[in-house]
């Protein structure tokens, strides 16, 4: 019960990592504002209530300042303040290469994926500081660490999130508000569902995640558990960091990898 009576906001909580995190926060005693652009917010809140937890859904656009302000106000009015903000909402922006990416597309990706977390920090941090301590967790990506895991628009937005975690941690010095980011590798969410569905239909699941040492993709709960760790007092001395949760994918530069138990040619 690490989050007993804690007030928590999770954006992008209608599915995937956000839903998994909202369910886990509530299971550990947290009172959760379930924020999403879709009706998935209501579904997640219903699942929490069915399990005996406390949640309130809200439909928002995480990249609009007025919606972020409205969400934080709901948490404070409903639960007496704010302890944790998990700014998880994001969009993929497709897989267009640099020269096929128009300005409208990259602008929208940056608005949701980077301006959204910026707004979450800007408006949540002062309310969390009022509680004496707390945490903000951002969802970045291994695509933000180096090239090869996403489109130019998506990768640039997530690199910005990683830097934002570091800069905001510094600028919140003395507030006891920690800011960290998680960097998922390939994870089975609504965003990546077509990849996993195709692999299953084509009997090629052995190829999913084959470039990381664990030879598999992740499930949302595996990412959510790391987000909960960073949001909890268990991570009380972790601040300004970007934690890769990718099966080891980003631990190496591309090489011809020797398989476990096999002799190199």
What is the tens place of the pLDDT at every residue in 91-107? 988 888 888 899 999 99
Distance CA 259, CA 204 (A): 19
Q: Stretch 8-22: mean pLDDT, rounded?
A: 97
Q: In whole angstroms, what is the distance from residue 18 CA to residue 228 CA?
A: 11
Closest by CA position to 225, among listed 14, 79, 11, 28: 28
Q: What percent of the chain has pLDDT over 90?
A: 75
Active site residue 154: yes
Report pLDDT for 156: 96
Q: Each residue of 122-139: pLDDT tens digit?
A: 999 999 999 999 999 999
Instruction: Encode pLDDT of 32-52 as tens digits.
Output: 999 999 999 999 999 999 999
pLDDT the model gives residue 66: 98
pLDDT of 204 reads 60
Residue 19: how many CB atoms within 10 A of its CB? 27
Fold of 7-188+219-244: Rossmann fold (3.40.50)
Among residues 154, 198, 237, 260, which one is catalytic? 154
* pLDDT the model gives residue 21: 98
pLDDT in tens, 214-251: 888 889 999 999 999 999 999 999 999 999 999 988 88
User: Among candidates 155, 64, 172, 39, which has minimal Cα distance to 115?
Assistant: 64
How high is the mean pLDDT of the chain? Answer: 91
Work out the pLDDT band at 4, boundaries 50, 70, 90: very high
What's the pLDDT score for residue 255?
60
Mean pLDDT confidence for 149-173 = 96
* Higher pLDDT, residue 54 or 214: 54
The pLDDT of residue 232? 98
Q: Residue 129 and residue 126: Cα distance in Å, rounded?
A: 5
> How many Cβ atoms from other residues are within 10 Å of residue 235's Cβ?
18
Structure confidence at residue 261 (pLDDT): 74
Confidence at residue 196, expressed as pLDDT on a 0 to 100 scale: 61
């Amino acid at each position: 019960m690490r989050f007993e009576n804690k007030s928590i906001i999770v954006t992008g909580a209608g599915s995937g990592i956000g839903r998994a995190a909202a369910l886990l926060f509530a299971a550990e005693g947290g009172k959760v504002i379930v924020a999403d652009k879709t009706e998935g917010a209501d579904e997640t809140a219903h699942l929490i209530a069915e399990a005996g937890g406390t949640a309130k859904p809200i439909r928002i656009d995480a990249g609009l300042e007025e919606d972020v302000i409205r969400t934080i106000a709901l948490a404070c009015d409903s639960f007496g303040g704010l302890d944790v903000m998990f700014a998880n909402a994001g969009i993929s922006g497709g897989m267009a290469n640099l020269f096929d990416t128009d300005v409208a597309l990259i602008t929208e990706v940056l608005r949701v994926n980077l301006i959204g977390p910026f707004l979450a920090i800007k408006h949540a941090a002062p309310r969390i500081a009022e509680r004496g301590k707390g945490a903000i967790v951002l969802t970045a990506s291994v695509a933000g660490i180096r090239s090869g895991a996403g489109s130019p628009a998506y990768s640039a937005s997530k690199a910005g999130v990683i830097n934002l975690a570091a800069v905001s941690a510094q600028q919140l010095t003395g507030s006891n508000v920690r800011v960290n980011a998680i960097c998922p590798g390939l994870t089975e969410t609504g965003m990546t569902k077509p990849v996993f569905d195709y692999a299953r239909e084509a009997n090629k699941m052995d190829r999913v995640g084959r470039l990381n040492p664990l030879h598999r993709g992740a499930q949302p709960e595996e990412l959510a558990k790391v987000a909960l760790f960073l949001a909890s007092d268990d991570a009380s001395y972790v601040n300004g960091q970007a934690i890769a949760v990718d099966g080891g994918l980003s631990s190496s530069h591309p090489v011809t990898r020797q398989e476990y138990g096999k002799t190199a040619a």
